[in-house]
Structure 1
Amino acid sequence: MLSRRSLAGLVGAGTMAAGAAASALVTPAVAQDASESAFDRIRRTKKLRTAAVAGGAPYYQKDIATGQWRGFYVDMAKALAAELEAELELSETTWGNAVLDLQANKIDLFFGLNPTPKRALVVDFSVPVFSNAFTVIAKKGFAPKTWAELNSPDVKLAVDVGSSHDAAVTRLCPKAQVVRFKSADEATLALSTGRVDAQCLVLMLAMTVLKKNPALGQLVVPNPVFATTSNAGFRRERDKTLRDFVNTWIDYNRGLGFIRQTIVSNMELVGVSEADMPAGVSL
């Protein structure tokens, strides 16, 4: 089973793969006394506003031809809206803008945020939806089994700058040569061209990348297993009813197996099956 050890101290500005920049966060958005709470607005208008990230499969995926959204967080948002007796309104955002959209009251919640202390200054978080282990894609012929083996001056590790991957490697591998790139895709390119020995990614993203390009190398889950969590984020307001409701909804549906089933079924969007999960690691 995957250790649920929190990496709150590690995760500076994470993602799922490709997190939001902490520098983009501004001062907390504080709801005015006379303002309508998010929960009351949803119940009054019968509309739940959230957002999705194009190209974020299996979290989110937009069909270019039809404009329809798919992904496990899309399915969860639809189910949550139905429970609230509301219609789902889905707009498009980016991993970097999701927190700002919450603060600006453009959306009521956003699924897919890693909770970090910096983010917690400006938005609220739900309980974890699932855990995402930190892994590395190691080049062929390089098979580290522990973080200690990666923590060497001879090892070059690629990360996307400012992400949870960056924060994890910085904390766990201070002796390694950490090579930072603007995006996870650029870090993957560096691995494919032999400029680095490995790339750090959370499990969900690592499996997706390797499915697209198996020649990159091998998936390694270094010991001890560390993980971040994927949560829902909410605009900071005094009335916590929406957050409390979503927490209850997540716990209830995780207990019934709906959360796991939805994640596993949508992994097929990127050609990943449950059989591809590393031994001893779970969501």
Structure 2
Amino acid sequence: MTVFSRSAALRRTIVAGLACMGLLAGAATGAQTLDKVKQSGQLKIGVAAGDPWYYRDPVSGQWSGVGVLVGEQIAKSMGVKMIPVETTWGNSVAGLQSGQFDVMFVLDATEERKRAIDFPATPLLWYAQGVLAKDGLVAKNWEDLNKPDVRIGVALGTATDRDLTKRLPNARIERFTNTDETVAAFNAGRVDAIGFYHSVLAIAYSKIKKGSVQVPKPVVAIPTSAGVRKEKEPAFRDMLDQQFKKMYDSGQTQTLYSQYLKTKGLDPEKQPGVTKEALEK
């Protein structure tokens, strides 16, 4: 067995173990999440650094972001108080299973995660593969970027790196260690555009105020959701599913996103939205 296959097998074993731990935790705690939240008067949400979803002010220590705004809205509808609980994206599954927090918003429902935790069926919002392009570079379609004289920066090893490498075989793909280095290269003019998910690019633009965020067609839109603990009676999950649908259909989800963009000095009308319908226009 190769090192890679041993690592893959170990990951599968860990995930399976976590899934079992989650089910055992559910049996041990007795009270279902929905009952626990109502009885305690608190909705605990996992928060991890990742603007625009979660942002911790370095001075006040307070958390903000789209995920926090969604949490506040859900808590309000339940008549309880929202409590942010700091975690990391890597520890989100374990935190949910152990009951450190009740829900984590803007958590993608990957197949691996679904083996360990649960997710509402209705997406919370959508984000898309996009580019922050220099002034004068218009990318209505991906083919507008698929040229030898177009330099596109990506973070090495990310899904965007893999996607754009296949999608733009004729472009010059420049790879950097992380997103911050990619943005720095764009700001310095070493690349003509950077690729990543459009919501994160909007935050990058808010800092450097150069170029424009664009979502080329065909749109590569991805739904995101919220993670919750697996339970025998999924009343909490089903309640979130109904809330997500109500918020999405009423336009409230987009309104919350727009509200947060304004705190970053951005005009929401000039930025791609977070509904599938808006992204595919």
User: What is the TM-score of this pair, normalised by structure 1?
Assistant: 0.77
Match of 1:80 in 2: 74
Deviations 1:94-144 (A, max 9, x none): 334333422443221111123333333333222212221221122455444
Which of residues 188, 197, 211 in structure 2 aligns to 1:193? 188
Per the TM alignment, residue 167 of structure 1 is displaced from its structure 2 partner at its CA by 4.5
Q: Does 1:34 align with 2:27?
A: yes
Instruction: Provide closer, same or farther for how the CA distance between residues 158 and 101 of structure 1 changes in structure 2, counting only shifts above 3 A.
Output: farther
Q: In 2, Cα distance between the equivalents of 1:94 and 1:160? A: 20
In structure 1, the partner of 2:4 is none
Q: How far apart are 1:229 and its partner, in Å? A: 2.0
2: CA distance, partners of 1:237 / 1:157: 45
Matched, 1:172 2:164: no
Tell me the equivalent position of 1:93: 87
Identity of aligned residues (%): 30
Structure 2 distance, partners of 1:65, 1:125, is 34
Distance in structure 2 (CA, Å) of the matches to 1:236 and 1:129: 18
1:272 has 2:262 as partner: no
1:1-150 correspondence runs (5 A): 26-27=14-15, 28-30=18-20, 31-32=23-24, 34-35=27-28, 36=30, 37-54=32-49, 56-126=50-120, 127-140=122-135, 142-150=137-145
- Quickly say closer, same or farther: Cα 1:244–1:167, change in 2 above 3 A: farther
Q: Which runs of 5+ in 1 are unaligned?
A: 1-22
Over 3 Å counting, the alpha-carbon distance change for 1:73 and 1:132 in structure 2 is: same
Computed over aligned residues only, the root mean square deviation of the Cα atoms, in angstroms, reads 3.1
| Highest RCO, 1 vs 2 (Cα 8 Å, sep ≥ 6) | 1
Deviation (angstroms), 1:282: 2.2
Is the 1:58–1:269 Cα contact (8 Å) retained in structure 2?
no
State the Cα distance separating 1:162 from its structure 2 match: 4.9
Name the residue aligned to 1:4. Answer: none
2: CA distance between counterparts of 1:111 and 1:163?
21
Flag structure 2 segments of 5+ consecutive residues without an equivalent.
Answer: 1-10
**SS of residue in 1 equivalent to 2:19:** coil
Larger CA Rg, structure 1 vs 2: 2
Q: Contact 1:25/1:99 (CA < 8 Å) preserved in 2?
A: no
CA distance change for structure 1 residues 24 and 79 in 2, over 3 Å: closer, same or farther? farther
Q: What amino acid maps onto 2:183 in structure 1?
A: T
> Which segment drifts farther, 25-34 or 64-73?
25-34
Q: Aligned AA for 2:246?
A: Y
Aligned mates of 2:73, 2:229 — CA distance in 1: 21
TM-score by length of 2: 0.77
Corresponding residue of 2:213: 219
Q: Which has the higher helix share?
A: 2
Q: 1:100 and 1:182 mapped to 2: Cα distance?
A: 27
The aligned amino acid for 2:201 is A
Which one-letter code corresponds to 1:282 in the other structure?
Answer: A
What corresponds to 1:252 in structure 2? 246
Q: Tell me the distance in 2 between the aligned counterparts of 1:57 and 1:160.
A: 16
